[in-house]
Copies of this chain bind each other. A is one copy, B any other.
Amino acid sequence: MRGNPDHNAVPVELTAVIVAVTAEEPRVLTIQDADQNFEALPTGPFESDHRTLQIGLRSWVERQTHHPLGYIEQLYTFADRDRTRDGAGERLVSISYLGLTRERHATGSGDPRWRSWYRFFPWEDWRSGPPVLVGRTIAPRLRAWAKGVDDGATRRERKNRIDIAFGLSGRPWNEELTLQRYELLYEAGLVPEAKRRGLVVDPVPGAPMMHDHRRILATGIARLRAKIKYRPVVFELMPERFTLLALQRTVEALAGQRLHKQNFRRLIDQQGLVEDTGEVAMQTGGRPAKLVRFRREVLLERAVAGTKLPLSRPA
């Protein structure tokens, strides 16, 4: 407890979860790791010639993707021991960020591409109802893992965590628990990444990523799913003009859940989040829809405005 402790100099990198929604799929920017044949999140250097980390990240991403980043938020700083550069040895600190943008063809080294995030987390997409993957594969395997301990207390605790995270035993599905779900699967040895920790692995479907990048992505998804409920960040993912249904589909893509259409619209206009452009979209396949635009002023009017969306609430 000193004012000026000795500082260990440690390698620091920035890792970005860059999200866009296209064709009703939430997508994340990934690169291909040449050596390991794993997909990875784009990782940038910690440059000290920027005033803040955020500015540095923004300029770096924009340089690489040639597209402005609408919104940036720090996610988490990872520095666990197993997070070393090559197996063991030096410790690596990784400061992760969440960024929102609109999809664009990305260029750069490492073969950047936009991937649906459900490629990495197929169990997170409940838009067409409960995925069979959960009921048929994940639930039984997790149950088996829980039953496999001798200690009764641990067993009960595991069962509880599983039920809560995956909405079993009559509990509701909570789309915000993405990280908890991934961590459970990791602990239970059901994702390939766990092998590096020496666990026995018999993986469930879902593409793995390099290092702990899938955990970082899970953190980003969880954060974004939570955020859209009380901050108007969805609009960063929308084009200038859009229909209310398009907005709803975007939210649904992120949340992995369907929403009640009328209630969704009620919320949006109760809060005055959008305004008419006067134009209509005729190619909707049904009655023409008004084209609206985001009222940027709301960002000023109520700094902490809520975009309360009809999704499961923390209770």
Contact = CB atoms under 8 A, between A and B. Distances in A.
Nearest to A35: B3
A31 interface: yes
Interface stretch (A36-44, A199-207, A240-248, A284-292): A36-44
Contact of A95 (B1, B8, B79): B79
Nearest to A77: B77
A105 interface: no
Q: How large is the interface on A (under 10, 10 to 19, 20 to 34, 35 or more residues)?
A: 35 or more
Given A1-B64, A34-B3, A76-B74, A46 B304 contact: no
B314 A6 contact: no
Contact of A1 (B5, B9, B35, B110): B110
Contacts of A45: 5-8
Interface in A25-83: 31-35, 40, 42-48, 50-53, 64, 74, 76-77, 79-82
B13 A304 contact: no
Contacts of A6: 45
Given A165-B303, A304-B314, A13 B5 contact: yes
Contact of A12 (B12, B51, B306): B12
Contacts of A95: 77, 79, 93
A11 B13 contact: no
Interface stretch (A115-123, A131-139, A156-164, A185-193): A156-164
Contacts of A157: 300
Contacts of A140: none
B43 A31 contact: no
B74 A52 contact: no
Given A9-B9, A13-B7, A2 B109 contact: yes
A13 B9 CA distance: 9
A33 B161 CA distance: 44
Contacts of A268: none
Contacts of A10: 9-12, 46, 48
Contacts of A42: 1
A48 B10 CA distance: 10
A308 interface: yes
Nearest to A11: B7
Given A2-B43, A92-B7, A306 B300 contact: no
Nearest to A10: B12
A91 interface: yes
Question: In this complex, which of A33, A48, A161 has the most chain B Cβ atoms within 10 angstroms of its Cβ?
Answer: A48
Contacts of A53: 77, 79-80
